Amino acid sequence: MSVAKGTGGHGVGLAVRRWVDSWAGIDEPRENQGPAAKRVDWPRILPFALLHLACLAALWTGWSPIAVGVAIALYFVRMFAITAFYHRYFSHRTFRTSRALQFVFAALGNSSVQRGPLWWAAHHREHHQNSDTEEDPHSPTRHGLFWSHIGWVTAKDNFLTRRERVRDLLRYPELCFLDRFDIVVPLLMFGALYGFGALLAAFWPELGTSGGQMLVWGVISTVVLFHATFTINSLAHVWGTRSYETRDTSRNNALLALITLGEGWHNNHHHYQGSVRQGFQWWELDISYLVLRAMEKLGLVWQLNPVPQAVLDRRGRHKEG
């Protein structure tokens, strides 16, 4: 990976402005061919790098059962927001919900520090259109395992929201706000975590936590969540079995499905994107789908797209390592 041009003057200024306004310079032409597409935008990724380094602060803040418990709860709630809403709802429109709940889960997904809902959906739609070709932004077979997992998000060419791919979502100003100012919700969440820990320290010191400790474990939860989510871009294209013949290298992986609440049934998903369910068979545990079914019974979501029987009938019997 090479360093982005313009690291002085306008280039740095624009990168820093994007810390606050991720749509700054959104009409710039893309450099989606050759080495230029892999230039690292160092000023823009500085907060992302610092987030990883901040995990080391746990050596000083220590841990407590409540801080770790909050971190685990944040992981699962936000993983569901990513898998069920950022992916299955915003990217693939596999079910319907109210505008209010759409916003709530968009904000929860935004708190995972995986950018805004439009950015996420636009890149994912591009991945499906160009899966495992040179135009795929994160194909491990074309660009390598490291690039598919984390390198692609550091590239200047991948920072901007490709609005032409999410015209159906642009009509919601609240979603555009979350996407454009994608730093707001994470900062509010981290501030709330610090305040919650400080409150516990003041009124229930026997719990052994503090504002700093709660904040650090919230950061750890966020970093683990990020890497767990993006194992689907990387590992789920090289490790697992294939139930269906697809034009890409997507795989089914039960372990990845477990840590991502169902996303690891990736070959199923690439075979038929239109289903809200990714674990097609009864033994393929898809926790996000089960939660969505419960939400359907409560009237919170509806019109969950099933897996057509014709799709299930095309299931292959071969497996690849």
36 burial (CB, 10 Å; 0-12 / 13-18 / 19+) is middle
| 226, two tokens | 């990020």
Q: Which residue has the higher pLDDT, 26 or 4?
A: 26
Which residue has better confidence, 2 or 101? 101
Q: Are 85 and 93 in contact (CB under 8 A)?
A: no
pLDDT single digits (tens) 140-194: 888 888 888 988 888 888 888 999 999 999 999 999 999 999 999 999 999 999 9
Q: Taking the model in full, what pTM does it have? A: 0.90
pLDDT of residue 188: 97
What mean pLDDT is predicted for residues 262-290? 95
Other beta carbons less than 10 A from residue 243's beta carbon: 22
Q: Look at 34 and 85; give whichever has higher pLDDT.
A: 85
User: What's the whole-number mean pLDDT along residues 109-134?
Assistant: 92
Q: How confident is the model at residue 111 (pLDDT cuts 50, 70, 90)?
A: very high
pLDDT of 319 higher than 80 = no
- Work out the burial of residue 71: count CB atoms within 10 Å of its CB; fewer than 13 is exposed, 13-18 middle, 19 or more buried: buried
Residue 56 in this model has a pLDDT that exceeds 60: yes
pLDDT at 315: 64
Q: Where are the alpha helices (DSSP H) in 91-150?
A: 99-110, 117-129, 140-143, 145-149
How far apart, in whole angstroms, are the C-alpha atoms of residue 56 and residue 61?
A: 9
Task: Tell me: pLDDT of 8 over 50.
Answer: no
pLDDT reported for residue 43? 78
What's the mean pLDDT when you consider all of the chain?
A: 89
Cα–Cα distance, 58 to 218 (Å, whole number): 11
Amino acid, single-letter form, for residue 112: S
Q: State both tokens at 263.
A: 């996303």
Asked if 270 and 128 touch (Cβ cutoff 8 Å), the reply is: yes
- Residue-wise pLDDT for 207-230, tens only, equals 999 999 999 999 999 999 999 999
pLDDT (mean) for 241-255: 92
Q: What is the pLDDT of residue 10?
A: 58
Q: What is the pLDDT of residue 103?
A: 98
Q: Treating both helix axes as pointing N-terminal to C-terminal, what angle do 287-297 and 65-80 enclose, rounded to 10 degrees?
A: 80
Tell me, what DSSP letter sits at residue 9? T
Q: Which helix (H) or strand (E) holds 97?
A: strand 96-97
DSSP letter at 98 equals: -
Three-point CA angle 170, 172, 176, nearest 5°? 65
Instruction: Give the burial class of 8: count Cβ atoms within 10 A of its Cβ; 0-12 exposed, 13-18 middle, 19 or more buried.
Output: exposed
SS3 81: helix
Domain boundaries, the chain: 53-313
Most confident of 30-34, 242-246, 292-296: 292-296
Residue 30 has pLDDT above 80, yes or no: no
Tokens describing residue 257: 């499905």
Query: For the residues 5-13, what does the mean pLDDT come to?
Result: 54
Question: How many residues does this entry show for the chain?
Answer: 321
Q: Measure the CA–CA gap between 156 and 295, rounded to whole angstroms.
A: 38
